[in-house]
């Protein structure tokens, strides 16, 4: 009985570590913004400034570099083509002046930990991802681009 309680407690802690990072941070966009191009359908479901740390499990914690913070783009991607195709999340970036900031991490929609940055999607297949950018503090991007789709971002 004690082992079952300990196992349940451990499971609850893992669940909290998984879902809490998605719940924290300053919400910038909280309404779906959809773009379509080149047979892809991309929906930005949420954009947050922070949280500035997350736990991958197993005692691994991630933090942005000094002078930076995490910006989280929660996206849904669908392959509208009639054939399987790969999509590279390295085609996604935030602008920082003349620079383009690539993702620091790509995660499954509700699970922590890195995933394949270039999944192959079957015809009509949809995937949810959290695309995490390590972005300079005291700056604000004006757009999210997942080439060729561009979504404007309000200044924050």
Q: What count of other Cβ atoms lies within 10 Å of the Cβ of residue 140?
A: 16
The whole-angstrom separation of Cα 83 and Cα 106 is 24
Note the pLDDT of residue 59.
Answer: 79
Mean of pLDDT over the chain = 85
- Confidence class of residue 133 from pLDDT cuts 50, 70 and 90? very high
Over residues 8-13, mean pLDDT: 38
Residue 34's closest CA among 78, 91, 92? 78
- Confidence class of residue 114 from pLDDT cuts 50, 70 and 90? low
58 or 90: whose pLDDT is higher?
A: 90
Q: Does domain 2-152 have CATH number 2.40.50.100?
A: no
Note the pLDDT of residue 11.
Answer: 38
Can you give the pTM of this predicted structure?
0.81
Over residues 110-119, mean pLDDT: 72
Over residues 125-134, mean pLDDT: 96
Q: What is the CA radius of gyration of the chain?
A: 17
């Amino acid at each position: 009985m004690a082992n079952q309680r300990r196992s349940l407690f451990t499971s609850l802690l893992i669940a909290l570590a998984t879902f809490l990072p998605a719940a924290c941070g300053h919400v910038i966009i909280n309404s779906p913004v959809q773009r379509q191009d080149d047979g892809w359908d991309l929906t930005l479901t949420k954009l947050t400034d922070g949280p500035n740390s997350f736990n991958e499990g197993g005692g691994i914690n991630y933090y942005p570099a000094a002078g930076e913070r995490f910006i989280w783009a929660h996206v849904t991607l669908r392959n509208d083509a009639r054939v399987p195709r790969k999509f590279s999340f390295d085609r996604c970036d935030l602008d920082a002046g003349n620079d383009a900031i690539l993702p620091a991490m790509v995660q499954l929609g509700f699970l922590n930990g890195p995933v394949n940055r270039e999944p192959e999607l079957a015809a009509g297949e949809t995937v949810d991802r959290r695309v995490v950018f390590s972005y300079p503090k005291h700056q604000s991007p004006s757009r999210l681009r997942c080439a060729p789709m561009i979504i404007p971002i309000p200044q924050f």
